[in-house]
Amino acid sequence: MEVSIDLQAENKEIVSRYRKLVKSVRPLMKDNDHKQVRLAFNTALEAHKEMRRKSGEPYIFHPIAVAQICVDEIGLGPTAVIAALLHDVVEDTDMELNDIEKLFGKKVAKIIDGLTKISGVFLQGTSQQAENFRKTLLTLSEDVRVILIKIADRLHNMRTLESMPRNTQLKISSETIFLYAPLAHRLGLYSIKTELEDLYLKYTEPEIYREIASKIQQTKASRNKFIKEFVEPIDDSLNNAGFDYTIKGRPKSIHSIWNKMKKQKVSFEEIYDLFAIRIILETPPDEEKSACWQVYSMVTDFYKPNPDRLRDWVSTPKSNGYESLHVTVMSKTGQWVEVQIRTLRMDEIAEKGFAAHWKYKDSNKEAVGNRETGIEAWISKVREMLENQDGSAIEFVNDFRNNLFSEEVYLFTPKGDLRILPAGATALDFAFEIHTKVGQNCLGAKVNNKLVPISHKLNNGDQIEILTSSKQKPSLDWLRFVVTSKAISKIKDSLRDQKKVVATEGKEIVERTLRLLRIQLSDDVMGELRAYFDCKSSLDFFFMVGQGSIDPGEIRKFREEKKKRDTMPAPVIHDAKSFEKEIRKVRGVEATDQLLIGENMDKIDYALAQCCNPIPGDDVFGFVTVNEGIKIHRTTCPNAVELMSNYGYRIIKVKWTSQKELAFLAGIRITGTDRIGLVQDLTRIISNDLRVNMRSISIDTDDTIFEGKIMLFVNSTEHLEQLIRKLSKVDGVVRVDRFDS
């Protein structure tokens, strides 16, 4: 009886959520849309009827939530709602794309295809996640809604990550910060990008997240009082001038505060710009620019501006469509405050990004003019990138990421045409931006009439003339001088043909050598060869053999090592699942390790990663390498995000036990004011009080400032924290923190 009551309540909740969705999308519906949305909902409801999420909720809650995000937070219409409701149907049930096309048409089927993961077995050295991401991006130039629904899907998954196991939380969070947050930023979805970053921090560094969130809450009252006093004179001026406006004051995101704390090596209390004040004007489109500058003038009547912190994205919008005027001013209490001045249209584009952008483009072409060219230009760049499909998926994802980051430089051609490139772009990037042929024949450039080499980095406002020669050809060295995807892919295209010729010769040498050694060149052997010689791809390996960087004699050494490995009883492990099977076989075998690995928390051989030197007590994960077994990394390791994003299927759950005392290498940095006897006091605490062995100590003094780096052996994070606490109390010491050696 209780079950039926629960089911009734669940069904009621499903209907309630669906009705809320229909209510939100109704203003955007035309003709047959209502029937199609209802059909999509019924189809999804039937397809997922037996399925539940990890939290125990009915699975249908997820597609409804994704559709709701598409409408409320991105501003999409009925087609996106239909696709969002159906986005998991093909992947998780017996329904096929043909069925979707018959019921909902080609457009919806195309979007669903872009949202459906690639199935099948992937070779060693490839990445299923990168392949799936590339597949999704292939639809970007055709229908950007695929990406927007994907971002909505990811946002809901991040909001409901609580019920997932730890290793899944780490994998999904890392993938989010690596790809989806920068992508949301690039598409102008600032509020979604901010929430994704905050949720990433919540699951990867929960203690830090909770601490910053709590401090933001604690300072709320004093912050509100400060904002009220700060905006009072501006309020009066705006009212007297007859402006229709809203003023908001809100704290910076937890993730951006944490980034500042790390970057500037300061505490929460020492960060001055914890919040921004936003002035939003309701004004006709043809008066927007002058209104923003008029308000800027009013703000600077009361507060002194910092000239280095003025950002004018009203005259020249960012390439993702973002428009706003930012000024940092000094308040009466001696605190810097960022003031953002924008119109209601600009604010909606800043919050909802791409979708709002097109809404205004369609409804107000004359007033908005050519402001949409930035985001269109970016999409056409992505389209160009997608045409070059020769590289590996991981290479592609890395190139794509380089295009996502938002810092930009504004540059001019000799005729005064504006070009926007990523910060760090060089004269060679600019040449490829003009035309592929100009890039390939680029000899140098004149920047503001001064002759510069192709590697010269460009600055905001530079005017560039490219110098070419028909004899000039791209070389491998050029890849060091470029940052844009277009330049990278075109240089690689030029080098690839030459490389393929050399690689073909190399392949023949490898096959000949392996035949003599009686080894068949299979995919597995190829993967092992690549790992052994540390090559990113088969082409790189064959090329290195072809040009003589790898001697055929070294392949014989590989054969000897392979023989040793093949005679060892250790199993071949490709991913986390095959590893889980192996551990079950060794369950019950007593080992002396301090780590429990896998779902069943077994004990097995492992190695600690040297990139982050984990110690007992650290939050860690296991990574199944191609030929070095399990490597243990800290979740805060500099390489963690990339490993989890590209090779999530190789991530294994790991936690420490406290079976015995072992010594682990850790590094601590001590800064303070120099005095006689300081080093003696520090070493006494390390060696005598806590009986810690030091491996090395280096000390640097500049006038009265002291900085020491000490490598020492500790038993656990608790042991290390105890040491840091004691050292912090030494007279003259200002700061003690751990660093990755």
- Judge if 213-368 and 664-739 fold alike in CATH terms: no
Helices of type H across 48-116: 61-69, 78-86, 89-92, 97-104, 106-115
Which residues does the annotation mark as catalytic?
Answer: 91-92
The angle that helices 538-546 and 523-532 make with each other, rounded to 10 degrees, is 60
pLDDT value at position 202?
93
Could you tell me which CATH class the domain 664-739 is placed in?
alpha beta
Homologous superfamily of 213-368 in CATH?
Answer: Beta Polymerase, domain 2 (3.30.460.10)
pLDDT value at position 401?
65
Each residue of 615-666: pLDDT tens digit? 777 788 888 887 777 888 888 888 888 888 777 777 877 777 654 445 677 8
CB 259, CB 322: distance < 8 Å: no
* Residue 115 reports pLDDT greater than 60: yes
Burial class (CB in 10 A: 0-12, 13-18, 19+), 673: middle
65's tokens:
């939530």
Each residue of 244-265: pLDDT tens digit? 999 988 788 899 889 888 887 7
The DSSP-derived string for 686-728 is IIIIS-PEEEEEEEEEETTEEEEEEEEEES-HHHHHHHHHHHH
* Residue 217 reports pLDDT greater than 70: yes
User: 586-606 as b/e, with b when 16 or more CB fall inside 10 Å?
Assistant: eeeeeeebbbbbbeeebbbeb
Going by C-beta distance under 8 Å and a sequence separation of 6 or more, which residues neighbour residue 689? 726
CB 245, CB 282: distance < 8 Å: yes
User: 232-265 as b/e, with b when 16 or more CB fall inside 10 Å?
Assistant: eebeebbeeeebebeeebebbbbbbbbebbeeee
pLDDT value at position 359?
59
pLDDT value at position 121?
43
> What are the distances in angstroms from CA 338 to CA 100, 360, 715?
49, 27, 45
For residue 3, name the pLDDT band (cuts at 50, 70, 90): very low
Whole-number Å distance between alpha carbons of 349 and 356: 5
The residue assigned the tokens 């001013």 is 329
Would you tell me which CATH number, out of the four given (3.50.50.60, 1.10.3210.10, 3.30.420.40, 1.20.1250.20), belongs to the domain 2-206? 1.10.3210.10
pTM recorded for the entire structure: 0.65
Domain ranges of the chain: 2-206, 213-368, 493-567, 576-656, 664-739
